[in-house]
Amino acid sequence: MNNLNEKEKMLSGEIYDASDKHLIKERNIAKDLCFEYNHLQPSKLKERKALIKKLFGKTGKMFHIEQPFYCDYGYNIEIGENFYTNVNVVILDCAKVTFGDNVMIAPNCGFYTAGHPFDVEQRNKALEYAYPITVGNNVWIGAGCSILPGVTIGDNTVIGAGSVVTKDIPANVLAVGNPCKVIREL
């Protein structure tokens, strides 16, 4: 019998109950921090950086996250050095989301670790699963991209604008489309 609590199930990739009161409490903490971050004056760079360091599981020294920014928990997000996101980036970090060094993310991108079962009875009970997302070093993700659960994007890769990344993308390539596919090597 499974003795894991809902958070442990979430972090291990099992089906879990997203309406669990402890998970709701943790999401509300992160949402409050995102609200505070998004309502700081853009020129308050020191305060903005301090809030992200409080929110994220790990940061490099050099990073910049444009407002608005949204996430579910924050503590499952790890960013490397020289990390940059433009406006309106969403990271649903029910599982670990790891970004390497020198990652650039254009506006309106989403990183979605969470998914819902195809079984309607499970889905209607607020059950879901979460699989980690990993983005390598020196990656550029174009505007309006969606990165789905369980995806790894290799080093030195460019994901073209509007792409929906449903499967792993190797290193050193240009990949584009819905679903995202490798177009050529870089």
Give CA–CA dist 148/124, Å, rounded. 21
pLDDT at 123: 87
CATH of the domain at 155: 2.160.10.10
Q: What percent of the chain has pLDDT over 90?
A: 96
Catalytic residue among 22, 39, 64, 116: 116
pLDDT at 126: 85
Question: Is residue 117 predicted with pLDDT exceeding 80?
Answer: yes
Q: Are 45 and 35 in contact (CB under 8 A)?
A: no
Helix (H) or strand (E) holding 184: strand 180-185
Question: Is residue 79 predicted with pLDDT exceeding 90?
Answer: yes
pLDDT at 146: 98
CA distances from 175 to 100, 154, 182, 185 (A): 18, 11, 4, 9
Question: Is residue 1 predicted with pLDDT exceeding 70?
Answer: no
Q: Is residue 130 part of a domain?
A: yes
pLDDT at 102: 98
- pLDDT tens digit string along 14-31? 999 999 999 999 999 999
Q: Is residue 118 part of a domain?
A: yes
b vs e for 5-39, b when ≥16 Cβ sit within 10 Å of the residue's Cβ? ebeebbbebebbebebeebeebbeebeebbeebee
Predicted TM-score of the model (pTM): 0.95
Size of the chain in residues? 186
Give the number of domains in the chain: 1
pLDDT at 113: 98
Q: Is residue 13 part of a domain?
A: no
Q: Is residue 102 part of a domain?
A: yes
Q: Is residue 10 part of a domain?
A: no
Mean pLDDT of the chain: 97
Q: Is residue 12 part of a domain?
A: no
Give CA–CA dist 108/60, Å, rounded. 23
Q: Is residue 2 part of a domain?
A: no
Domain that holds residue 111: 18-185
Q: Is residue 1 part of a domain?
A: no
Q: Does residue 22 carry a catalytic annotation?
A: no
